[in-house]
Structure 1
Amino acid sequence: MTGTRTRQKVEVRREEILLAALAEVERVGLAAVRVSDVATALGISTGLVFYHFRTKDELVADAFTYAVERDLTTMERAAARRGPVLDRIRAVLRTYGPTGSATGWRLWIDGWALAQHEPVIADHFRTLDDRSRGILRALVDEGLADGSLTCSDPGASVRRLLALLDGLSVAAEVHRSVSRKQLRTWVDGAIETELVGG
């Protein structure tokens, strides 16, 4: 019984450290995160952080993995809801795109730059891309099977929709040249073009 309790405490502490690391990433960016700042935010020693994560790079990579898994779980929940396929596709793309304070999107944008030089981060992006495409493709296939969607090349349509959303999200969150309302309107229009009118 004590072993189970200890394991749970270790897992909880590890998750707290990951969440604190993500908060630091939001504040200063992926490349500038310092283990000492993560420890200070939690009121613990840097030694305890290094007990759970051998290096700063491991902490950053694991925090990134945690964020990727969290976002993919949100997308999967949106895909699994009841209702028409088209509504669920819209819901999935809304969870994928920037919402609220858009902390997730600032992390992805920061991560894209780091991924050019960090193979571990690049691998996580491939995972995010593959699984998000898989979630969306499964919904498109469902809609094609039940006749609610029309699409000559579902794989290409899914890639175009996600690429459009990536580009518009950067425009909205970095350049501020696109509003969130415009982003939603244009993505909804692209959904219609790709999956209903195509």
Structure 2
Amino acid sequence: MSGLQQAKSEETRRKVLEAACEAIETGGLAAVNIRNIAKEAGYSIGSVYKHFKDVDELIIAVNTLTFSKMKDRMAEAFEAEDDPLDRLQALARTYYRFSRENTKLWLTLFGHRLPEDYPTPEEHVQANVDLLSFVGRALQGLHPELEGEELTVRVKTCFAAVHGIVALSYERRFVSLSDEVLERELEFAVARLVA
């Protein structure tokens, strides 16, 4: 493939991904339809399928971009603090704020299910690992004795606790809590979890 062809191919992929992101931001996961996305991107359905073998691959690509955006925000939160507990609490607040500012993309991360025989692309797995590494680094700052499998399990537990509170807030389980109060409760939960 020549340099010009490669550039055109990358541009097509980028525009299709942008159209898919916009569809999700507007209508959620249910809005992902290859025909409509092709139309919005200005390409044929065949052009979309040249870059994404099916709708699942397209959603995974969108989710990987969402992970990347979240990672950038988490990196900023992590670097803004020196104390490990402050870092963990900042990561929890940032996760909550990201979910509020990018609700439909965030919901798509957890709402999309791949068929059982569909392998998760390594890039997507690595994006998840990269995101959780911030929690791991902060936890090790608090508890240097944590390592290996024990650290991995604790990272997953911390993430699950924060994610659970955030997810329940969307189900209106914390409907009476303002954003400010919910953020304080996240900080409280994190502090108790890692004490």
Give the deviation of 1:106 after TM superposition: 1.8
1:7 to 2:28 alignment: no
Change (3 A) 1:76 1:116: farther
**Residue type of the alignment partner of 2:167:** V
How far, CA to CA, are the matches of 2:71 and 2:186 in structure 1?
A: 19
Q: Tell me, what secondary structure is at the counterpart of 1:185?
A: helix
Q: Tell me, what secondary structure is at the counterpart of 2:53?
A: coil
Unaligned regions of 5+ residues in structure 1, if any?
A: 146-152
**In percent, how many aligned pairs have the same letter?**
22
Give aligned pairs, total.
186
Give the deviation of 1:20 after TM superposition: 1.4
How far, CA to CA, are the matches of 1:23 and 1:121 in structure 2?
A: 23
Q: Tell me, what secondary structure is at the counterpart of 1:161?
A: helix
1:165 to 2:162 alignment: yes
Give the deviation of 1:31 after TM superposition: 5.3
Contact in 1 for aligned 2:64/2:124 (Cα 8 Å): no
The equivalent of 1:88 in structure 2 is 87
**Residue type of the alignment partner of 2:71:** L
How far, CA to CA, are the matches of 2:115 and 2:189 in structure 1?
A: 29
How far, CA to CA, are the matches of 2:95 and 2:136 in structure 1?
A: 14
Unaligned regions of 5+ residues in structure 2, if any?
A: 145-149
Give the deviation of 1:125 after TM superposition: 7.6
Q: Which range moved further: 114-123 or 172-181?
A: 114-123
Greater relative contact order (Cα < 8 A, sep 6+): 2
State the Cα deviation string for residues 42-89 of structure 1 (Å, max 9, x = none): 233222222322333322232222323332343234324464333332
Q: Tell me, what secondary structure is at the counterpart of 1:107?
A: helix
Q: Tell me, what secondary structure is at the counterpart of 1:57?
A: helix
Runs (4+) off by over 6 Å: 122-125
Contact in 2 for aligned 1:72/1:131 (Cα 8 Å): yes
Q: Tell me, what secondary structure is at the counterpart of 1:175?
A: coil
How far, CA to CA, are the matches of 1:182 and 1:14 in structure 2?
A: 41
Q: TM-score, normalised by structure 2?
A: 0.73
Give the deviation of 1:15 after TM superposition: 2.0
The equivalent of 2:37 in structure 1 is 38
State the Cα deviation string for residues 15-36 of structure 1 (Å, max 9, x = none): 2211211222334443552111
How far, CA to CA, are the matches of 1:58 and 1:174 in structure 2?
A: 28
The equivalent of 1:148 in structure 2 is none
The equivalent of 2:193 in structure 1 is 194
